[in-house]
Structure 1
């Protein structure tokens, strides 16, 4: 049996189904992400797993125990929210130690565990600082340490990094993954950020309208989107109908009604099994090390990503020869 088993979970609010017969399994030590747009049901599912919201039907097993009707504090789960929810009148040490004190851990062991955890999240030297003296990223590290130090069976994270600026968020994403791998703890993250999901996850469950529409390894979901929704949500795919695709490549694309092409799939040099595209540059966007070109061919607009260091500097209205590998034309269901 899997470490976490979610069977046929259903939930409605005001007569509207938020979760529709949700099934998923998670192995011990996995880092799982529930990914999807706002309102898809991912946070509701996480809160049902935590025991903060009751399901209308279905069951949840954690480590072989049916916790469907068990109170949150008896499930052995920890939870980190977007809001840090720290005790403002307690310093870093006291916030991290709070859960252990509730468990009446002996002071010697408590001190050791708290100091080790503070060091693990990179806050050594901040033990006596109060929340208002810390940055947002530091406060979220305290919240993370407080949840992990009690050694939960599962750590649930409800968009914990979404309120932070980009650079701090990237640093904490790496820290989160490093801690998870070092401790071997089972984690479930909720996010709407596909880049975050790709960076930290062992597996991703992509949700839409209360259902899992695709699940798997991050690279598999990215490279092999199953539906138009997945292709549009998970990256910057060019998504085209069959007539548009035929017009773009000048030949029948084969079976399927919709197709997806990754913008980085286009090549500057010809190779075997590629399709020549003589396109015109209509737009240029510099995205760090990537330049995204908006292109047009036979009235069809699409985008192509090229590395800055490729030595190519295209201009608006310039003609460009691109080559599209046939295997990178992905039919969608």
Structure 2
């Protein structure tokens, strides 16, 4: 969505809307790519509004990016709120049918997120229909404005249908596929190699180079699992703090480094040592390279003691890494 929208011929100082902003990642990505643009993110979930507002402040976009508690059907209120007309409206809305979220695979997601973040009516089209109607209300869109919608792969027709059926929109681009032909992904410290196998299989058409790393004694298990799943995954040893090994892997210039369940601060029975410092050192070695390409690190870990786990973030900043998004913490006890 960001790549498609940022490539459009927009006027200087464009006004843009991210409908269903969630954590604000699309809104903030566009503000970064479009200097001078002014953005508004809306969401019906108060927790999302709080998280997106905090992320805007963290990224230095609080003055150019506002976040409001608003539903899709209320977009007609934007002119009276003093925002608009819009030059660009984007959304990656919920697009699954309600029955899909009844699947057991969604049980864990629904513990921390609203069902409305995934499902959109019986056929999954409600959000597109609401957006098509509300964006067309007087004063919301400027003449010649652009609308960019995210959707399930292969379902662009379903997403576009309510817009085209209204007779108020023209179809400019059927689909954007701006990902590089070859994607470098490094999966770190997920012992059985499952995450790396998933990346390799899901992105097989793009021929990614996927590297799974962990402690030396875990490498044989990862090799075995990669073979069993017929996944093209390279397996390598990378203990935390082994900067020489990290530098050697960084030569491969991974575009994405994914690290799961890696923040341990000591004082509990799984790890006696504080691993935050070697973790930060190793991430810096992996993500800061001599090339000019953007590298992205995604850390996912359980919050057991907020003050201790989140102390990792300033450690990353001290080493020259930019922390651009922090997802909202789960409710205590979840």
TM over 0.5: no
Q: RCO greater where, 1 or 2, for CA within 8 Å and sep 6 or more?
A: 1
TM-score range, shorter chain: under 0.3
TM-score by length of 1: 0.28
> Over alpha carbons, which structure has the higher Rg?
1
Structure having the larger proportion of residues in helix: 2
